[in-house]
Structure 1
Amino acid sequence: MTRQDQRGDASAGRRLAEVDPGWGDGTRCVHAGHPVAVPGEPVVAGPVLSTQYHLAPPAEAGEADIYGRSGNPTWRALEQAIGELDGGRCVVFPSGMAAIATLLRALLRPGDVLVLPSDGYFGVREWVRAELSWVSVREVPTAGPWSDDVFDDAVLVLLETPSNPGLDVCDIRELSRRANTAGAMVAVDNTTATPLGQRPLELGADIVVASDTKALTGHSDLVLGHVTVRDADLADALRRARTLGGAIPGPFETWLALRSLGTLDLRLGRQAENARAVAELLRDHPAVRGFRWPGWEGDPAHAAAARQMRRFGGVLGFELPDADAVRRFLERCRLVGSATSFGGLHTTADRRARWGDPVPEGFLRLSVGCEDTDDLVADLRAALDGIRWP
């Protein structure tokens, strides 16, 4: 990211501060995307809500903003912040699906080969089948096997690691090397890990895509997404596609996301602490089978995760005997709500089979929140008591 990219809001009256790449995660999360200190100006700038901007005289050019669909200072502030964390050029969108849909439309042409995770977010596969019927799709489980012919003639390889909801992991560095050698680009869905948990661009991927509705913003009060790329031309193409297609984020939601980003390091720290404690409970509990969490040393994905992840995240998976056992478990919980997103302050659980994921009827995706660790473990333990497998 160039200095001009980072500080390009001067013409909109909001010059963004430069963040030292040597600072730690917490410092960068707090300061990225915020304006430089000016006496008398607010410490935290508010959202820019205008749909139109004053134009320069006809003989002049170079306005930062002219119309609300093509540019907004609040977008650029968040894009700088996320781009600094991801290590590339960020473009924000009104949802994770808008982000990945715009990316796929920008990169793929009729007859192109797209490689998708067969065990990743089901909505992506559904959208591709409905909207990109002219693309040839190959589906591969996140854990493989990744044979050489998977990459033959592929234009784009989409990885999702850890996968949602199964929490399998693939080797980003190795698969990026093999895909690039075969002439394909690699995009990594980094929703579960966040930029603090994993930096795919540093591991050789070309593109990062994420639903920022989840852990990145983490308060369960907005829908947002982003794409971060290494290539400046691709970033420009995505911005043009966003402008022409109208897939633009609301300035207020974007501002909420920037506000929420400041606590990302703190939130992930508590969630990781809670995830470790919950893992200790679940992995040996007689009511639980098929426990998954990449941070657990006994997990099949742990070795690969430990090589590339900086943090293991707060999403776990496990199986209860059946859907009725899940119902009874959730009824007994006082701190765990039934909800279908993840990464928020509140601990939630989702029985994924109800949405059509190819998982057992009793499989639960558990997103641990920021509650007191002892309270959360005690609540889960009490809710699991009395559940038995046939």
Structure 2
Amino acid sequence: MQDQGKARFAKMLHHRAEKLKKGEPVAPPLISATTYHLPEVEGASHVYGRMAMPTWEAVEAQLGILEDAPCVAFPSGMAAISAALMAVLTDRKRLIIPSDGYYVTRVFSAEILAAYGVEVIEVPTAEIATADVSGGAVVFIETPSNPGLECCDIALIAQRVRTAGGLLIVDNTTMTPLLQRPLDLGADMVVAADTKAPGGHSDILFGHVATRDVELAARVRNWRKLSGAVPGAFEAWLLHRGLETLEVRLERMCASAQVIAERLAAHPGVTNLRFPGLASDPSHEIASRQMSGYGFLIGFELPSGAAAEAFLAACPFITQTTSFGGTHTAGERRARWGDPVSEGFIRLSIGVEPVEPLWNAIAEALGNPG
């Protein structure tokens, strides 16, 4: 993480201090009230829980410091994604999305947005930089893509989209604002699933939208209020706590991922390894330009689906789960969800375990892939 990012994180950790009065708690209190004392509405700080809640505001303030932009909190990453898309696909009816990105975004676009007259165009992540973005299209990218870890040039795409009168939304879930800053690179909006590394403990669903465009922010916030897609106070409180250790967790996770990726690259049983931190990776040059770290996700292939399942079952330090970014290293054979990957493709999310015991367990399991 660059010095500017470290300064933002330090500011985030202490941003409450300047407002504290003598004897007040350093950690924000969990306030779950949905109704508020309203002898009159004029001048009330809070009116009703669907509109605003103190605990959301505490975590939105944290996220706002990290993003350097106003943030709107949502009860999941998909709630954030759908809100961002619904807020902009009003007069705009052309949407370009990655064909190799998160599959739920693709399903939502094909089954919901298309039914409302949106033209949905799927383009591989590696080809979006040269895709036809004319006609004021909304372009939605995910870089690195999930699960294939393909990267695309955010600044280049942002410039092309802006010239064509369109809007660019970037799903930054895999990187977080500590490792990649799409708004600084020209994106109009950022969406992210804070369920992953920001929460970090596999115990909450959460998401956010960030934008520096005042009108877009108002539309997203209005969508949340009218649709009722609001986060719970307890989840917001847990995310606030999780964010305070994000930087130290990411540092361990990314460093371990680099070590493990380099060792996997030398393993004879592993093919088609993807990790942006490897000089041999097709996305290394782009990643080095626009990211301040290479992340904690690794993709690779074993000879078959059975071999992949056997490997996952044999490794005691890999939790078999369908999410990523937690403290536990997690692995999954993504073809079981219909992702456009080989049957033996594994998405590996490196956790905070000490790297040598983790690698030893992985190496031993690879020796017996079935």
Summarize the alignment of residues 37-48 of structure 1 with structure 2, pairs less than 5 Å apart: 37-48=20-31
Q: Which moved more, 1:40-49 or 1:240-249?
A: 40-49
Conservation of the 8 A alpha-carbon contact between 1:75 and 1:254:
yes
Task: Show the counterpart of 1:341.
Answer: 323
For 2:369 and 2:349, the matched residues in 1 are separated by 21
Is 1:262 matched up with 2:244? Answer: yes
Shift, 1:32, TM fit: 4.4
Shift, 1:36, TM fit: 2.5
Choose from 323, 348, 352 the match for 2:334.
352
RMSD: 1.6
Is 1:328 matched up with 2:299? Answer: no
CA, structure 1 residues 110+43, in 2 after alignment: closer, same or farther (shift >3 Å)? closer
Task: Show the counterpart of 2:33.
Answer: 50
Is 1:73 matched up with 2:54? Answer: yes
Choose from 23, 30, 36 the match for 2:19.
36
Is 1:89 matched up with 2:107? Answer: no
Amino acid at match of 2:108: W
Is 1:166 matched up with 2:148? Answer: yes
For 2:170 and 2:96, the matched residues in 1 are separated by 12
Is 1:210 matched up with 2:192? Answer: yes
Q: Give secondary structure in 1 for the equivalent of 2:73.
A: strand
Task: Show the counterpart of 1:11.
Answer: none
Conservation of the 8 A alpha-carbon contact between 1:47 and 1:74:
yes
Conservation of the 8 A alpha-carbon contact between 1:98 and 1:247:
yes
Shift, 1:130, TM fit: 1.2
| Superposed CA offset, 1:127-164 (max 9, x none) | 1111112101121111115335x111133110100000
| Superposed CA offset, 1:175-199 (max 9, x none) | 1001000000111000000000101
Conservation of the 8 A alpha-carbon contact between 2:30 and 2:233:
yes
Is 1:101 matched up with 2:92? Answer: no
Identify unmatched segments of 5+ residues in structure 1.
Answer: 1-20
Summarize the alignment of residues 79-228 of structure 1 with structure 2, pairs less than 5 Å apart: 79-109=60-90, 112-133=93-114, 134-144=117-127, 146-147=129-130, 150-228=132-210
For 1:289 and 1:167, the matched residues in 2 are separated by 15
Shift, 1:387, TM fit: 3.6
The ranges of structure 1 where at least 4 consecutive aligned residues each deviate by more than 2 angstroms after the TM superposition are 21-26, 28-37, 145-148
CA, structure 1 residues 110+206, in 2 after alignment: closer, same or farther (shift >3 Å)? closer
Task: Show the counterpart of 1:374.
Answer: 356
Amino acid at match of 1:39: K
Amino acid at match of 2:172: N
Is 1:276 matched up with 2:258? Answer: yes
Task: Show the counterpart of 1:312.
Answer: 294
Task: Show the counterpart of 2:280.
Answer: 298
Q: Give secondary structure in 1 for the equivalent of 2:129.
A: coil
Shift, 1:23, TM fit: 5.8
Amino acid at match of 2:72: V
Amino acid at match of 2:36: Y
CA, structure 1 residues 26+103, in 2 after alignment: closer, same or farther (shift >3 Å)? closer
Shift, 1:31, TM fit: 2.8
Q: Which moved more, 1:361-370 or 1:271-280?
A: 271-280
Summarize the alignment of residues 228-239 of structure 1 with structure 2, pairs less than 5 Å apart: 228-239=210-221
Shift, 1:55, TM fit: 1.7
Conservation of the 8 A alpha-carbon contact between 2:128 and 2:152:
no
Conservation of the 8 A alpha-carbon contact between 2:92 and 2:137:
no
For 1:151 and 1:108, the matched residues in 2 are separated by 15
For 2:35 and 2:22, the matched residues in 1 are separated by 28
For 1:50 and 1:237, the matched residues in 2 are separated by 25
| Superposed CA offset, 1:21-79 (max 9, x none) | 78625413423467733211111122111010112536xx2322101111111111111
CA, structure 1 residues 29+312, in 2 after alignment: closer, same or farther (shift >3 Å)? farther
Identify unmatched segments of 5+ residues in structure 2.
Answer: none
For 1:240 and 1:35, the matched residues in 2 are separated by 30
Conservation of the 8 A alpha-carbon contact between 2:73 and 2:80:
yes
Count of matched residue positions in the alignment of Structure 1 and Structure 2: 365
For 1:114 and 1:22, the matched residues in 2 are separated by 32
Amino acid at match of 2:324: F
Q: Give secondary structure in 2 for the equivalent of 1:208.
A: strand
Amino acid at match of 1:118: S
